[in-house]
Structure formats: structure tokens, C-alpha cells
Amino acid sequence: MIQKLGKINRKKRGMRYVLEDIDGKSVELPAKEFDLLALLIGNQGKTLKKEYLFGTVWGSDTESEMQTLHVHINRLRQKLGDEPKNAKRLLTVWGVGYKFV
């Protein structure tokens, strides 16, 4: 579980990425989870619409469904140590999308 996000180091290990926090703890993320987190962190403080996140990470020609986004958000929250019902970092903006604070 990542406690503090400072500089995020991205190391590719096979098909996964390793995310390191400022305390040296690390967590492995599949490529899509990493892409999603990078997009959210790159737009920190901004609410990004679900459709934008989904289209950017999975593309418009995908066979995946919007539920895929929700599953990946929940997995990221677990790995970041964020409680879904009391999220502090990866927030749900109801009816709109998500934002990273």
C-alpha cells in the first residue's frame, strides 16, 4: 500500500509498472491501472469525466464497458490505501467522474 505519493517512479517489469512512493514502498500496477493513475495525477485537482477517462485509457474502439473503469478505480484505491467510502486521494464526483487530490 502506498502511503505518500511524492515523485512517482515508473519502472516497467514485464507487463506491469512499479510505483514507488517517497518512503521507498512500491506497488505493482498493470499497464491500464498505471495509465489511469498517470492521467488522474497529471490533472490533479481537476474532475475528469468518466467518458474522457475511459476513452483516453481504453480507446473508443474497445470491447470493454464503462464498468471496467469503476473496477480499475477501486483497485487503485486499494493499492493507494484509499477507502472507497471515505476516499481522500481518488475522489468520486457523483454523476461526473473522478479526481485525484
Q: What is the pLDDT of residues 9-22, one digit of tens each?
A: 555 556 667 776 65
pLDDT at 2: 45
Confidence (pLDDT) at 27: 80
pTM strictly above 0.85:
no
Domains contained in the chain, CATH given: 32-100 (1.10.10.10)
- Distance from C-alpha of 36 to C-alpha of 41, rounded to nearest angstrom: 9
Residues 6+ apart with CB under 8 A from 70: none
CB 42 within 8 A of CB 10: no
Strand ranges of the sheet holding 48-49, from the earlier edge strand across to the other edge: 48-49, 97-100, 90-93
- Alpha carbons 34 and 30: distance in angstroms, whole number: 6
User: Could you report the per-residue pLDDT of 73-99, keeping only the tens digit for each?
Assistant: 999 998 888 887 888 889 999 999 999
Average pLDDT, the chain: 82
Over the stretch 56-76, which tens digit does the pLDDT of each residue have?
Answer: 999 877 777 889 999 999 999
Residues 6+ apart with CB under 8 A from 23: 3, 4
In this model, does residue 49 exceed pLDDT 60? yes
